[in-house]
Amino acid sequence: MARILILDDEPDMVESCRRILALAGYGCLSTSDPQAALAMLESERPDLLLTDLRMPAMDGFQLLRRAREIDPLRPVIMFTAYATIESAVSAVREGAFDYLPKPFSLEQLRVAVERALTQRRLALENRHLREQLRETYGFGNIVGGSSALHSVIEIVRKAARTDADILIMGESGTGKELVARAIHANSPRAHHPFVAVDCASLPENLLESELFGHEKGSFSGASAVKLGLLEIADHGTVFLDEIGELPAGLQAKLLRVLQERRIRRVGGTREIAIDIRVLSASNRNLRESVTAGQFRDDLYYRVNVIDIALPPLRERTGDVSLLAQTFLHKYARSGGRELRGFTREAIAMLEAHAWPGNVRELQNVVERACALADGDLITPDDLPAHLGARLPPAAPPANHAAAATTIPAAPEIADPISMLTLKEAKERCIGQLEAAYVAEVLRREGGNVSQAARVAGVDRKTLHRILSKHSLR
């Protein structure tokens, strides 16, 4: 039930509005004192404020400004017996949702209240969706603690604040679209559309229509006007995946769009202004494509205002186990399984693999393992056999006599840290120390993130990033 705060220096007016709105099913708070109204805005958090414009104790505009400071999404309806065009315009400029001249009818009040509460509901839903978007595609969801990935995330974080066009390069499966969505979700355009276009999968004869749209009758089968993806993304972000696959003719047309931010539908004569940010991605080296004459150099420099190179998984020291644990929690939860983790041997197999398919390949392997596992741990038997091809063979016994006189325990695979360089080993050990320290501080503080951050001498945002990096709960 929506709650409404009613404020007027005339008690009869307050009571009339309260009675009308209570009969309509709303919860009502009422007062004739502006200071009391401000206190109730803080403590009671009503969904709507109805207030008189002129009151002896406080001007209605002062109250309006204070109310919007407390909750910018709470609508305010103002009414007055001294209605003028100037006061109505001023009220709207100050942020009032509606303005009712006294005396107003029951129907006018009811309609204004319904519209205001509808606007609040939509505003709250939009804010919730934006928060979910940032949570889903926030930088904390780019899992990894390697220095190679950390430097990339810092560039991504800074680039997201700007409106510059960005080129994301990396092998297939490195997470180029995930990075693009994180940039959009943390940019000023986050509440506008994110439109992804796979330039490699669309046939050439359809790609132009998909990008720019077409007018009715522009070609056989064009029975209606169709908006192109660039037009749909107006005020938002366009993600051109595998831009290097665009045919030469479309490269020229796209360059014109990026320069002028105007499009013309297929078969149309009118130019349409669009406001878009363009994020592009390629698994090919576009600079080499430019040299080979396969990609326009002017388009390359236009989309490459900021370039981001994603490292392949084989170069992200220590990230395989972190990603594997993240995917395990995801698929175990979605499948209703109780899986605690991986055995040491299984982790060794994962870390020894070259991962030519990068993060996407690892994700598929872990999903398969979660489906096949019988116990609460993922073992080597749950992983594809080819993952063990690069493991070092177990050392044979020194001689048959020694083997006959002792019955050794089941052999363990050597700790994979011994196969790393000193720099890589230091990075892993520091990461393990960081995870253990944060986990112990959180345990000691009873899971209170704010208190744990104060003890650790970092802010909450940094602590959440560490928790996400090490998949800690």
Report residue 403's pLDDT band, with 50, 70 and 90 as the boundaries: very low
> Which string of b and e fits 236-247 if b means at least 16 CB within 10 Å?
bbbbbbbbbbbe
pLDDT tens readout for residues 152-171: 888 988 999 999 999 999 99
Query: Where does the pLDDT of residue 219 fall: very low under 50, low under 70, confident under 90, or very high at 90 and above?
Result: confident
Q: What is the mean pLDDT of residues 435-453?
A: 79
Residue 174: beta bridge partners? none
CB-count burial class (<10 Å; 0-12, 13-18, 19+) for 255: middle
Is pLDDT at 200 greater than 90 in this prediction? no
Question: In order of start, what are the domains of the chain with their CATH numbers?
Answer: 3-132 (3.40.50.2300), 138-311 (3.40.50.300), 313-389 (1.10.8.60), 415-473 (1.10.10)
Give the residue, 237 or 460, on which the prediction is more confident: 237
Mean pLDDT of 258-285: 92
Q: What is the pLDDT of residue 469?
A: 74
Tokens of 58: 């406080």
> In this predicted model, which residue has the larger pLDDT, 398 or 45?
45
- Region 201-217: what's the mean pLDDT? 86
Kindly tell me if the per-residue pLDDT of 366 is higher than 90: yes
Per-residue pLDDT at 334 exceeds 70:
yes
**How much is the average pLDDT of 171-177?**
91
Compute the average pLDDT of residues 89-109: 84
Which tokens in the block code for residue 128? 């919730």
Nearest C-alpha neighbor of 186 from the set 166, 151, 150, 161: 161
Average pLDDT over residues 139-160: 81
Q: Is 359 exposed, middle or buried (0-12, 13-18, 19+ CB in 10 A)?
A: buried
Q: Which of 22 and 400 is assigned the larger pLDDT?
A: 22
Average pLDDT over residues 453-473: 75
The lowest-confidence range among 272-281, 296-305, 403-412 is 403-412
The residue ranking higher by pLDDT, 405 or 400, is 400
Residue 413 confidence class, pLDDT cut points 50, 70, 90 = very low
The per-residue pLDDT for 397 is: 44
Task: Give the residue, 254 or 79, on which the prediction is more confident.
Answer: 254
Q: Could you please report the per-residue DSSP string of 302-337? A: HH-SEEEEPPPGGGSTTHHHHHHHHHHHHHHHHTT-
Is the distance from CB of 182 to CB of 136 less than 8 angstroms? Answer: no
For range 444-452, the mean pLDDT: 80
Mean pLDDT, all residues of the chain: 83
418/365: higher pLDDT? 365
SS3 34: helix
Q: How high is the pLDDT of residue 411?
A: 34
Q: How confident is the model at residue 302 (pLDDT cuts 50, 70, 90)?
A: very high
Give the pLDDT mean for 430-434: 74
Least confident of 14-18, 420-424, 437-441, 454-458: 420-424
**pLDDT category, 424, cuts 50, 70, 90?**
low
Residue 408 pLDDT > 50: no
More confident residue, 309 or 146: 309
Cβ(302)–Cβ(135) below 8 Å: no
Rounded Cα distance, 205 and 184, in Å: 29
Q: For helices 11-23 and 106-137, what crossing angle results, to 10°?
A: 70
Q: Best-predicted range by mean pLDDT among 138-142, 313-317, 427-431?
A: 313-317
Whether pTM > 0.75 for this model: the answer is: no
pLDDT value of residue 86: 74
Residue 418 has pLDDT above 80, yes or no: no
- Say if residues 75 and 32 touch (Cβ distance below 8 Å): no
314 Cβ contact partners less than 8 Å away, ≥ 6 residues apart: 354, 355
Q: How many CA atoms lie within 13 A of 275 on its CB side?
A: 6
Report whether pLDDT(43) > 80: yes
Among 44-53, 106-115, 330-339, 369-378, where is mean pLDDT lowest?
330-339
Q: Tell me: the pLDDT tens digits for 68-78? A: 888 888 999 98
What is the pLDDT, as a whole number, of residue 415?
A: 44
Question: What pLDDT is recorded for position 401?
Answer: 39
